[in-house]
Every structure is written in C-alpha cells, then in structure tokens.
Amino acid sequence: MPSAALIKEFEAVVGKDNVFTSEADRQSYSYDSAVLEAVVPALVVRPTTTEQLGKVVRLCNENGNPITVRGAGTNLSGGTIPDPREGIVILTNSLNRIIEINEEDLYAVVEPGVVTAKFAAEVAKRGLFYPPDPGSQAVSTLGGNVAENAGGLRGLKYGVTKDYVMGIEFFDVNGGLVKTGSRTVKCVTGYNLAGLMVASEGTLGVFSNIVLKLVPPPQASKAMMAVFDDVNKASEAVAGIIAAHVVPCTLEFMDQATIRYVDDFTKAGLPRDAQAILLIEVDGHAGQVAEDAEKVEKVLNKVGATEIKVAKDAAEKFKLWEARRNALPALARAKPTTVLEDATVPRSKIPAMVKAINDIAAKYNISIGTFGHAGDGNLHPTILCDRRDKHEFERVEHAVDEIFDVALSLHGTLSGEHGIGMAKSKWMEKETSKATIEFSRNMKRAIDPKYILNPGKIIGA
Amino acid sequence: MPSAALIKEFEAVVGKDNVFTSEADRQSYSYDSAVLEAVVPALVVRPTTTEQLGKVVRLCNENGNPITVRGAGTNLSGGTIPDPREGIVILTNSLNRIIEINEEDLYAVVEPGVVTAKFAAEVAKRGLFYPPDPGSQAVSTLGGNVAENAGGLRGLKYGVTKDYVMGIEFFDVNGGLVKTGSRTVKCVTGYNLAGLMVASEGTLGVFSNIVLKLVPPPQASKAMMAVFDDVNKASEAVAGIIAAHVVPCTLEFMDQATIRYVDDFTKAGLPRDAQAILLIEVDGHAGQVAEDAEKVEKVLNKVGATEIKVAKDAAEKFKLWEARRNALPALARAKPTTVLEDATVPRSKIPAMVKAINDIAAKYNISIGTFGHAGDGNLHPTILCDRRDKHEFERVEHAVDEIFDVALSLHGTLSGEHGIGMAKSKWMEKETSKATIEFSRNMKRAIDPKYILNPGKIIGA
C-alpha cells in the first residue's frame, strides 16, 4: 500500500472519489480474461481528464510505482494484470469522450476509455463505418483495442485496429505529451510512433487521445453457411474463394466439437455430424455482392459442401450468425476453465493446423473446440478443462506448447490478436530471435528507465 | 577515406568488385533528389547477399562509420545523403530478388533492392495487385519505399506503403537479425517493430527482407477530368464526392499555374484559363464503377464544373492522365531549381491551403505551381526558382516556412509522403512537441548508441 502522503498526492490530482484503496475495490482490478493468477494492485486511480492522466503517470514514475492502464479488462493474455510491486491500476472509464467525428475528412478523435461498440454506433449514426470488431466490442475500450491491436471477424477484408489508427497523443513516462501521426491519411513527420504504440500493451506510453480512420459503410451484404463432411474440404473452399478473388468481410470456421457444444447450448438444430462449417459474408456494392455470392456458391459446390444455406433477409442472417456468436459462450460453459488460444497461420495452412490441433488433443487426452477467422488464418483452439485438476492442466500446458510449435513451423505466429502479455512472453524468442528480444528490451529501457510501464508484459520482467 | 585495412575487410565480405573507392564512383552517390548540398561518401559498398549485408553493417558499427543505405536515390528530403564523417553508402541494387509471391495467402517476400514498378508488374502477371505507386516507382526500390513510407496517387482508397508491410527482417546495428511481423494478416507477437521501421529513414535498422501484402485487382475503372473556373468549386467537388460515399482510387488536383506549364510543355490543349482541374478515377466492380462515376458526375455538375471529359476507352484514359504525369516534368523544366514540397492537410482544408499558397507566392514574388493528391489532402506546392540566385532562394526559404505554418494551423502535417530527412528536421518540434523529439532521440540512442545509422535524419544530429 502506498504511503498516506502519496495517496493524498493522487487525491489532489484526481479527487478523493477517484482514488480507491479498499481491499474490495482493489480485488476487482486484480485479474483480466486470461487464465492467470490474480494480482491485487496497491491502489486504483481514476483520472477524469487527460490532464489528470498525465499528472498521475508522472507521479507514479517519480515514486517508482508500476502502472497498469485498464479499460474493460477483457484482455486474454494478462496484459491488464497489475504488478505485484506496489502496482497501481489507472482506470480509463472516465476518459470516455468522443472528441470529434469528422464526416468530411473521415476521421474521429477519441479518449482511450470510449467503448468500442458505442463508438461504432455513433459513427454509424453519421452514415460512416468503423470496421474493427473484436469479440469483446460490447464492453472493450478503444484504448485497449489499440494497445492490443485488437482484431475480430472483419480482419481479412477490413484489417485490424492498427489499420485504423491515424494518430496518437500519449504521455511518456515523465508525463510529457508525445504527438504522433495526424488527421491526414498521409503523414511521414517523424518516427511512426503511433505504429509503435499499437500492440505495445501499455509498456511504452499512456494514451491521451487517438485519431481513428473511418470509411463509408458497405451498401449491401449477403451471408451464407456451408456444411462439410471433411475439414480439408472446408479449407479448400477458403482457398477457392480467395483464388476467385472474392474477399469476404467475414469467413468463419467451426469444427465438429464446437458445432456440437453450440448445438447443445442453443438447441439450434446445427448439423452435428458435420466435420466443419463455414460462415461466409460478402459485402459492398449490391452488384458486387450478388456476383461474389454466386462465385462463393460455385466454389462451395465444386469442393463438395454437403449443404449451403443462404440467408434471405436480415432475420435469417442474424440466425445464421447466432451459431458463431455462441461459439465461445457454448465452449466456455462446458468446463470450469476455458483456455482460448489464437495461434495464427497463413490461410492455406488451416487444414494442417486443424489436423495438428486434433492430434494434440488426442495425444494429451484433452478437449479442444476450434473455431475462428478462417479468412485470415486466425484460429481459436479453445481448450476446455479444469484448472484445479493439476494433472490435466499440465497436459493442457504441454498441448499449448505444441500448438505454438506447429503454428510456427507453418510460418504462422503465436498470437493473431490476443496479445503476448504475460501468457506468451516465454515463447517470444522462438518466433522471433534473440536479437529481436534484445532490440525490444533496449528500446523499452530507454523509453521507461524505471520499468514502471506495465512491467512484465511482452518481453518479460 | 577508410584505412586500407578496413577496405580490405569490406572486400573480404562483398568481394573486390563491390567496394568502390574512386572519386568518380563516390561522387555518384553524394546526392539525392532533394535540393540540398551533396556530401561525398568515404566509401561505397554493394552487398550481393543479405548475409553480406549484415556483416557490412556490423563492420561499420565496429569501426564507427556512419551508414546510409541507398536504393535508387529518389529521396526528396535528403534521406540518402551520406554523412560527412567517413560516411559509407551501402547500395541495395544487388539485393533485388523477389523471394516469393504467394498467390494463396496474398503476400510476397522481397529483398530491399527490388524496383517498385518491376515488383508491381510481377505481381500483376499473377493476377494480383500491389497498390502503392509513388511518383518514382519506375526506378525507386521497395526498401526505400518502406524506409520513407512512400505514398502516391492511390492513397485515398488503397493507403500507402505502410498499409502493405506485413513483416520485416532487419539487421540491428550489431548485425543481429531482428524479425518482426508475419506472413499472416493478423500478428501481435511482440512490438510492432515493422510499423516502427516504416518511415524510419534508415536510422533504426537495415532491412534484410520485407513481407508485403497483396490484394486482388479491381475489375474495372473509369477516369474523367473536370474543369473549374474557381479553386473553391474544385474543392467543393472533392468534399461532395466524399460526402456521396464514393472513394475514388485517384483524385488529383492541378492549379492554373501547373496547367499552363504542362500545356506549354505538352501542347496538349489543356484549359489554360481554368483555375483548377480535377482528374478522377474510380475503380472496383463494374457495377460499382458505373454507379460511382454517375455520382461523381452529378457532384461535378452540381458544384458547377465548366467541363467534364469522361474517358471512353483505355487510350482516352491514358491521354487524360498524361497531363498529371507531366505535371512535375513540366514544372521542373521551367526553372533551374525545383523545390517540391508535400505539406498535407485534411482534405476539407484544401481551398484554404491553396489560397494560402497563392498568397505566399505573391508575397515573396516567387513562382509556385500546385498539384497533388486532393483526395487525401496531400498537395505538392512546387516552387520554381534558381538556387544560385541567393536573394530569391532566401525568399523561397521564407515561403516554405510559411507554407508549413499554414499547413500546421489547418491540422495538417509537414510531410505527407516525402519524409523529414535532413530537409525538414528543424520543423519537427513545431508539429509535434519537445517531448516527442526527446522520446525519439532516447529511442534512437538506445537502438544505435554510436549514432551510425543514417545520422542527422528525422531528429537532427
């Protein structure tokens, strides 16, 4: 617990009501959505203006208190777990103003605590579109999305959060305001620090505001489900769609285990005997949508989908996507612990990856349901287990190791969108190199000499 | 000149034929396309493999020789001008292999010395599309494009080089190989060092290879020219097109001065009395193109274009774009010195920016032709002068100062696509902040302690 004098200093900056010292309050911010040990922070501080935010950062640095900035705590890799050495959690939920939505120049300026879905809705009201749609968008914050480079279902066609960050103003560890990027589409003034901040998981600076790119929305869309009696056929369909030069806005995969868990959960009458289903949506100009949908159906028939369901209207489309929306909730309720991974491979390697995941599940006698974003090779092998069962959890850890090894051997990556955080930093060198870790640590040391910006994340302690 | 012993060491790495010591050879690499003093390097080295490249970097660092990596030397901000303190130029023109074009997974892996247009052509042969099209693409290299985050005409719809960099392997200053990014669309493993490398102008590392994103090409396109008797109407047209949710692939602007220089040069019969012309091209699905073109024409008529010429076929389209292609050559031949700027503003500020440029030209009694990418606010005010005329050149320097001041006051940026280099580093703090410069310098010092990676660029000496 920080000294009474230090607490008073924080109170002087943000007001008494925004400094939380009680055990119960601090407990609430001790964990995130990763399967990792909770760490209770020494203090929780909630700035209500960005000016206060800068002062809080400076105060923490002066006193050597590690900072973990927290939006909604939906992080899946432990990025929002505080530091055990007098760690302070800074909440962004009062920094939730949409400062500007510029319809002429297609950008918005936001504070870091704005909730993703709320922002997307405000943008939509003005006839525009903010595409990034991480699974947690209903509660996640834009600051968190940027810090993690959040992905989502639309990655293949629309890219990820990184592709929408035009500029960032952030506080350096001394509370100085660093300005990077611009309100213009093109900007090469200085280092691309906005690019560096994306996915830096709070370890290099604290966001004050973010400039996000907006685009015109698609005019039309069409969704369909395809059922396969063979995982390879599903994957051939994905390759065939890309080869036909169709870029669907979403192209989702579910394996048999996931289909069955979802069907148990929803009683939706899903094809339980299918080895895989694909959920496909194309969007854009109405003429293009019709043509793309036709091309997709042709590919699906050619590779031998056993069934193709095309949604005829918005209600049918909603129903079609229900299976996908329920994938994670259905899997999560099957067992006490859900280990949601996001090893990612070039899309042509999906059959090899799915086969390897199933082999690994059999080898370690554990349950894995796999679903995910087939279009961009971003799979979510989801391990269903009980963490209290030590023997089982050891097998789970071995399985995760092997999943990463396979992903890397297929030219893939440890993490497509969930971040490295604390959960995966030990594997970092395997994917990159010793020089990469040293380069990163050197840079971090220079930017944060006291190592107080979310320590222990990405490159370890 | 480095010692004979050191030259021998370089020769041992790259072979005798790839170390250039003669005055004539060194002179050839003393300048680039910026209007700045030439600096003759102490030595020029041409590695023929990336392994050699890493060894050359290490050798330079060990000996404290500043490195300037050079592709085609088309840099417009002095980024390829060597350092006067025993600077060594490393040529990438023998590192020009396209390692892979992956049609299934829509990426390519290239060495840094591959020429942009050659790469785009190879990609096109396989039915795919690499959109970034900087003006110098016929000779510029992909490594240089990435180091500068090169833009081009397609920025508005397709983005810039940054948006196509999926991964980079680069040598740190010690010759260690740093691996960042992936062959997958989604990757959040470690810091976004690939993002940091983009636009870093050779000051943080030396590229070994680059993974670039490819997309399917548009099916169809349509081009037109619109003539205006008032710059504001041209700008209203740009705003109207965006408001109609049309995103043209190119949306180019030329002012009266540029039109007249081009017409003098080409005798193409351009509308010499027009205050401005817009050159507009829409692309995509044929149905969308037809609809977009119709919307654009409607906007052009509404704001009062005095003439609209729609290209009926490829030959007419080629002719239409000839005016734009000739803008820079026509301006460049008017006077001995061409100062090509790229101050960039949010697109809605174009009328204010064009007016300010004309006022500044009048105030300092100098000739400025302005053309550029209206869709993304990236204008090229081009000052025509004679550098040997000291009095005039002083006025030019004042004018450039004022152009930047106006751009910044309009929420714009110093440089949309030409880079900071040596030419603009003195203005950096004005756009950003003291903390930004300090943050950048700290980072640079940690990554390059001896300050040998292209010193003097971006953040000054």
pLDDT tens across B294-341, in order? 999 999 999 999 999 999 999 999 888 888 888 999 999 999 999 999
Which segments of B218-375 are extended strands (E)? 220-228, 250-255, 276-284, 307-310, 337-340, 367-373
Domain final residue, candidates B180, B197, B213: B213
Is residue B209 domain-shared with residue B228, that is, in the same domain? no
Query: Could B192 and A195 be called an inter-chain contact, meaning their C-beta atoms sit closer than 8 Å?
Result: yes
Is residue B192 domain-shared with residue B226, that is, in the same domain? no
Domain final residue, candidates B170, B194, B213: B213
Token pair recorded at residue B189: 């493993």
Nearest residue, CB atoms, B191 vs list A196, A373, A416: A196
**What is Dmax (Cα atoms) for chain A?**
72
Read off the CATH number of the domain in which A146 is found. 3.30.465.10
**Domain assignment of residue B11, yes or no:** no
Helix (H, G, I), strand (E, B) or coil at A262: helix
**Domain assignment of residue B27, yes or no:** no
Is residue A121 domain-shared with residue A208, that is, in the same domain? yes
Contact B181, B148 (CB under 8 A): no
pLDDT tens across B273-302, in order? 999 999 999 999 999 999 999 999 999 999
Is residue B206 domain-shared with residue B284, that is, in the same domain? no
The arithmetic mean of pLDDT across residues B129-141, rounded, is: 96
pLDDT tens across B413-441, in order? 999 999 999 989 999 999 999 999 999 99
Token pair recorded at residue B70: 């050079």
Read off the CATH number of the domain in which A304 is found. 3.30.70.2190
Token pair recorded at residue A453: 């910006």
| Residue keyed to tokens 């992080």 | A75
Q: Which residues of A touch B344 (CB under 8 A)?
A: 182, 184, 186-187
- Each residue's pLDDT expressed in tens, for chain A with a length of 461 residues: 789 999 999 999 999 999 999 999 999 999 999 999 999 999 999 999 999 999 999 999 999 999 999 999 999 999 999 999 999 999 999 999 999 999 999 999 999 999 999 999 999 999 999 999 999 999 999 999 999 999 999 999 999 999 999 999 999 999 999 999 999 989 999 999 999 999 999 999 999 999 999 999 999 999 999 999 999 899 899 989 988 999 999 999 999 999 999 999 988 889 999 999 999 999 999 999 999 999 999 999 999 999 999 999 999 998 888 888 889 999 999 999 999 999 899 988 988 999 999 999 999 999 999 999 998 899 999 999 999 999 999 999 999 999 999 999 999 999 999 999 998 999 999 999 999 999 999 999 999 999 999 999 999 87
Residues 6+ apart with CB under 8 A from A394: none
**Domain assignment of residue A424, yes or no:** no
Query: Could A245 and B183 be called an inter-chain contact, meaning their C-beta atoms sit closer than 8 Å?
Result: no
Is residue A263 domain-shared with residue A278, that is, in the same domain? yes
Is residue B256 domain-shared with residue B397, that is, in the same domain? yes
Query: Could B413 and A160 be called an inter-chain contact, meaning their C-beta atoms sit closer than 8 Å?
Result: no
Nearest residue, CB atoms, A344 vs list B186, B190, B245: B186
Q: How far is CA B397 from the centre of its chain?
A: 21
**Domain assignment of residue B225, yes or no:** yes
pLDDT higher than 80, residue B461: no
Beta-bridge partners for B282: B222
- Report the C-alpha gap between A412 and A345 in whole angstroms: 4
Which amino acid does the sequence have at A132?
A: P
Strands B337-340, B67-70: pairing is: unpaired
Interface contacts A/B by beta carbons within 8 Å: 303
pLDDT category of residue B460 using cuts at 50, 70 and 90: confident
Strands B67-70, B88-91: pairing is: parallel
Nearest residue, CB atoms, A376 vs list B149, B184, B344: B184
**What is this model's ipTM?**
0.95
Query: Could B105 and A346 be called an inter-chain contact, meaning their C-beta atoms sit closer than 8 Å?
Result: yes
Query: Could A105 and B347 be called an inter-chain contact, meaning their C-beta atoms sit closer than 8 Å?
Result: yes
What is the extent of the structural domain holding A262?
A: 220-328
Read off the CATH number of the domain in which A357 is found. 3.30.70.2740
**Domain assignment of residue B337, yes or no:** yes
Query: Could B186 and A106 be called an inter-chain contact, meaning their C-beta atoms sit closer than 8 Å?
Result: no
Closest CA to B200 of B166, B158, B159, B161: B161
Domain final residue, candidates B194, B213, B232: B213
- Report the C-alpha gap between A459 and A15 in whole angstroms: 35
Q: Which residues of B touch A346 (CB under 8 A)?
A: 102, 104-105, 107, 183-184
Residue A409 to chain B, least CA–CA distance (Å): 12
Is residue B253 domain-shared with residue B310, that is, in the same domain? yes
**Domain assignment of residue B458, yes or no:** no
Token pair recorded at residue A266: 């929803």
**For position A458, what pLDDT does the model report?**
95
The arithmetic mean of pLDDT across residues B232-237, rounded, is: 92
**For position B351, what pLDDT does the model report?**
86
- Report the C-alpha gap between A226 and A270 in whole angstroms: 11
Read off the CATH number of the domain in which A54 is found. 3.30.43.10
Is residue A195 domain-shared with residue A268, that is, in the same domain? no
When the pLDDT of each residue in chain B is averaged and rounded to a whole number, the result is 95
**Domain assignment of residue A421, yes or no:** no
Tell me the torsion sign for CA atoms B153, B159, B164, B167: positive
Is residue A13 domain-shared with residue A73, that is, in the same domain? yes
Q: Indicate the burial class of A380 (C-beta count within 10 angstroms; 0-12, 13-18, 19 or more).
A: buried
**Domain assignment of residue A427, yes or no:** no
Is residue A200 domain-shared with residue A295, that is, in the same domain? no
pLDDT tens across B366-389, in order? 999 999 999 889 999 999 999 999
**For position A124, what pLDDT does the model report?**
98
Closest CA to B278 of B316, B323, B343: B323
Token pair recorded at residue A227: 């059922």
Q: What residue spans of B365-433 are helical by DSSP H?
A: 390-409, 428-431
Q: Which residues of A touch B410 (CB under 8 A)?
A: none
- Report the C-alpha gap between A412 and B185 in whole angstroms: 10
- Which of B191, B285, B299 to substitute to test the interface with A, most A CBs within 10 Å? B191
Read off the CATH number of the domain in which B386 is found. 3.40.462.10
Is residue B124 domain-shared with residue B191, that is, in the same domain? yes
Beta-bridge partners for A370: A381
Query: Could A184 and B412 be called an inter-chain contact, meaning their C-beta atoms sit closer than 8 Å?
Result: yes
Closest CA to B270 of B256, B253, B250: B256
Q: What percent of chain B has pLDDT over 70?
A: 100
Is residue B138 domain-shared with residue B241, that is, in the same domain? no
pLDDT tens across A383-431, in order? 999 999 999 999 999 999 999 999 999 999 999 999 999 989 999 999 9
**For position B348, what pLDDT does the model report?**
87
Task: Find, in chain B, the residue whose alpha carbon is nearest to that of A436.
Answer: B178
Split into its structural domains, chain A has a count of 4
Q: Indicate the burial class of A113 (C-beta count within 10 angstroms; 0-12, 13-18, 19 or more).
A: buried
Contact B342, B357 (CB under 8 A): no
